Amino acid sequence: MKKNIWVNLGFQAGALLVAMLVTTGILAAAGAPPFQAYWSMLKGAFGSWDSIVTILISWSPLLLTTAGVLITFSAGLWNIGVEGQMGVGAIFTTGMMLLLQDTSLPPALIIILGILAGIIGGALWAALAGALKVFGGVNEIFGGLGLNFVATALTIYLVFGPWARPGVASMSGTKPFERELWLPTLPGTSLSLWALGLSILAIAAVYLLLRGTHFGLRLKAVGKNPKAAFLLGVPTWQYSMFAFLLCGALAGLAGAIQVVGLRHNLLPNISNGYGFLGLLVAMLVNYQALWAAPVAFFFVALNTGSVQLQINYKMDSSFAGVLQSLLVLLVLLGEGARQRFLGTARKAEPSESEIRNKQVK
């Protein structure tokens, strides 16, 4: 067992080293001194309190989308539609806030109801993707991507149509809510400790769910071998739908937090790519919830620090995305190489007769 752990760490460390070598080569080819560029990124991420606050603000929705994706991955599902689920969550939150903002309800209650509406909206949108998969036979990748486009189109329609600012409609979004309908933030910043706390609680809950509950064990059984799980009495399609619902609820919560905790209105790009970034984080940690929080923090720090490359070396700040993608790709390749050369690939699914024999025993 210890030998396997060290072998796994060796392959992962090798993949990280290769990723750093490749990105160093890219920096050198672009005319940026690699070590100075890395130092600039480090200072850009942690060199000031404002930068740290920016990281923490971005960390919150990324934790939520990553937590949701980990649930569907555990069930063997590629929920690519998490981006759209986050957007629909933001739509439901905005709609609820607009409906209640002129009532006599306490502001705290309006915020809570808005967040709950976002959770429900994300879950319903995910349920649609799940229904297409479970009952319609539509691959969840294609269904999720299609629903992402629908969610984006719906957001744009609302921003430029029924919910447009009085007298003008623009990419700046709907009219901001009154300050009393914002989540409390640290003085002088846009950081909401409530949003951050909810995100940390969510990733902790998913870790406990997948690691220490009967539900999590059954969910993993469905993801590893749905035929065997079904023959052993696990209601597979129900668990697949549960996975979609839980993921959508967390994505909807991320969208709600964007509305009530940061943007304070609905924007066309309210999801800001956090859904797709959550997929990368989940793949990089090999679907282990324990490592999701630090890796997500690293990703948002990389995004924040990479802005310095544009300032200092006239490089596009999207270099962070290049490094993130390389890390994920090479780690996955390293895992494939480990399975190929060490013979640790997953065993073939057992036949029905083998499963029945195990049940009898």
Angle made by CA atoms 251, 127, 227, in degrees to the nearest 5: 110
Which region among 153-167, 191-205, 297-311 has the lowest average model confidence (pLDDT)? 297-311
CA 141 to chain CA mean position, Å: 15
Model pLDDT, residue 105:
93
Which residue type is seen at 262? L
* Of residues 296, 302, 331, the one with CA closest to residue 318: 302
Percent of the chain at pLDDT > 70 equals 90
Of 127 and 16, the one with more pLDDT:
127
pLDDT score of 328 more than 90: no
Report the predicted TM-score, pTM, of the whole model to 2 decimal places: 0.87
Model pLDDT, residue 247:
96
Structure tokens at 287: 């679907």
C-alpha span between 128 and 113 (Å, rounded): 23
Distances (CA, A) of 289 to 71, 85, 132, 187, 314: 9, 21, 27, 32, 37
Percent of the chain at pLDDT > 90 equals 47
pLDDT score of 353 more than 80: no
Model pLDDT, residue 355:
43
Alpha-carbon dihedral angle through residues 49, 55, 58, 62, given to the nearest 10 degrees: -150
Model pLDDT, residue 188:
87
pLDDT score of 347 more than 50: no
Model pLDDT, residue 356:
42
C-alpha span between 309 and 55 (Å, rounded): 17
Radius of gyration of the chain (CA): 22
Burial (0-12, 13-18, 19+ Cβ within 10 Å), 101: middle
Which region among 170-179, 185-194, 204-213 has the lowest average model confidence (pLDDT)? 170-179
CB atoms within 10 A of CB 51: 18
Query: What is Dmax (Cα atoms) for the chain?
Result: 73
Structure tokens at 245: 């619902």
User: What's the chain's length in residues?
Assistant: 361
C-alpha span between 120 and 93 (Å, rounded): 9
Average pLDDT score over the chain: 85
Highest mean pLDDT among 35-39, 197-201, 273-277, 316-320: 197-201
Band (pLDDT 50/70/90 cuts) for residue 164 is confident
The pLDDT of 70-75, averaged and rounded, is 93
Model pLDDT, residue 127:
96
The pLDDT of 165-187, averaged and rounded, is 85
The pLDDT of 168-185, averaged and rounded, is 86
Band (pLDDT 50/70/90 cuts) for residue 62 is very high
Could you report the per-residue pLDDT of 217-254, keeping only the tens digit for each?
899 899 888 888 888 888 889 999 999 999 999 999 99
Model pLDDT, residue 302:
86
pLDDT score of 327 more than 90: no
C-alpha span between 150 and 170 (Å, rounded): 20
Which residue type is seen at 271? S
pLDDT score of 312 more than 70: yes
* Of residues 309, 237, 247, the one with CA closest to residue 278: 247
Of 148 and 309, the one with more pLDDT:
148
* Of residues 52, 259, 271, the one with CA closest to residue 152: 271
Of 9 and 116, the one with more pLDDT:
116
Residues 6 or more apart whose CB falls under 8 angstroms from that of 158 comprise 91, 94, 174, 266
User: Can you count the helices (H) and strands (E) in the chain?
Assistant: 15, 0
pLDDT score of 151 more than 90: yes
Domain ranges of the chain: 56-287
Residue-wise burial string across 270-287, b where 16 or more C-beta atoms lie within 10 A, e elsewhere: bbbebbbbbbbbbbbbeb
Could you report the per-residue pLDDT of 99-149, keeping only the tens digit for each?
999 889 999 999 999 999 999 999 999 999 999 999 999 999 999 999 999
Distances (CA, A) of 116 to 120, 185, 261: 6, 20, 14
